Amino acid sequence: MDAVKEKIKELFFKNVYGLSPNIEGYDKKHAGAKGHWLEKKLGKTPDASNEADFWGYECKNFTSNKTTWGDWSANEYIFDKNNEFQIPRDKFIKLFGKPNQAKKNRCSWSGQPVPDSPNKYTLFGQIMSIDESLNISITYSFEKDQRDNKFDLMPKEFHTNNLLLAKWYGYERNNNSKKTALETKISKKFNQKGWFKCLMKNNTYNEIAFGKPINFEFWMNYVEKGDIFFDSGMYQGNNRNYSQWRSINSFWEELIEERYTKAI
């Protein structure tokens, strides 16, 4: 018997089952408010740690459509201070992102410009690729950029192909940056004891589900297939990169191994 799993189940059915999230006193504009409420009900102080939440198990909350694996920025960006192009982050977002008319033309590197899975160019000339060492790169090619204003918008130094915009190192042994590689991020969060998800029906928690540990190679296999995708939310005026890696909930459902709908 897994004593930790039994403890998590006990906490869920004692403190969460049958309830709806109560986020009074939380920042309601914060997307993670309900998750913080859940973690507190399960006995944990919310934090931004990149390690499994509960004694080796990673906790995931109910969502309506897609669930986040992690908010993991690239190890390298073209706007890094030590990059040869010396391009400010704000200018990067303007050149390689898209203005939002609803936000007074504030630009973001999200949605249409940014590839979410490998081997397909966006209309903005950007593509994601995975090399033999399982490093993930997003590159830009001027000849693939279909924007009508690209000659006016893009400086001549970017009238080139295969320009590296962002890179995530796969294995730690190949990592040339100060940030951890994806291998470490996945291992710490998902490859300890596994993960669990608290599920709802009619806005009420009614089920807890568990999945087995997930290693880096398993995770990357589904990045290559597109089941795990990059959902960038970077925008001007905010220093946070919002580099979310996500899957739709039907994929998470396929990974579930055990379900519990009432205390035993």
The CA angle 174-176-177, to the nearest 5 degrees, is 130
The pLDDT assigned to 264 comes to 56
CB count in 10 Å sphere of residue 87: 19
The two three-digit tokens of residue 200, written as one number: 């709802």
- Domain ranges within the chain, ordered by starting residue: 3-69+180-229+246-260, 76-168
The average pLDDT across 184-203 equals 96
Q: Which pLDDT does position 1 carry in this prediction?
A: 66
% pLDDT > 90, the chain = 85
* pLDDT value at residue 17: 95
- Which stretch of 30-34, 187-191, 236-240 has the lowest confidence by average pLDDT? 30-34
User: Does residue 49 register a pLDDT over 80?
Assistant: no
On the question of pLDDT at 28 being above 60, the answer is no
Q: How far is it, in rounded angstroms, from Cα 123 to Cα 136? A: 20
Strands (E), 163-219: 163-168, 194-201, 204-211
Long-range interactions of 141-148: CB distance < 8 A, separation 24+: 147/123
Instruction: Please tell me the distance from the alpha carbon of residue 253 to that of residue 68, in angstroms, as a whole number.
Output: 14
pLDDT single digits (tens) 112-130 = 999 999 999 999 999 999 9
Assigned token pair, 91: 């200018």
pLDDT above 80 for 41: yes
Cβ count near 204 (within 10 Å):
13
Stated pTM of the model: 0.93
Rounded mean pLDDT of 52-75?
Answer: 93
Please name the helix (run of DSSP H) or strand (run of DSSP E) that holds residue 109, with its range, or none: strand 106-110
Beta bridge partners of 204: 201
CA dihedral 216, 224, 178, 88 (to 10 degrees): -160
pLDDT for res 53: 78
Q: In Å, what is the CA distance from 5 to each residue of 8, 37, 50?
A: 5, 20, 20
pLDDT average, residue stretch 70-88: 96
Mean pLDDT of 206-222: 98
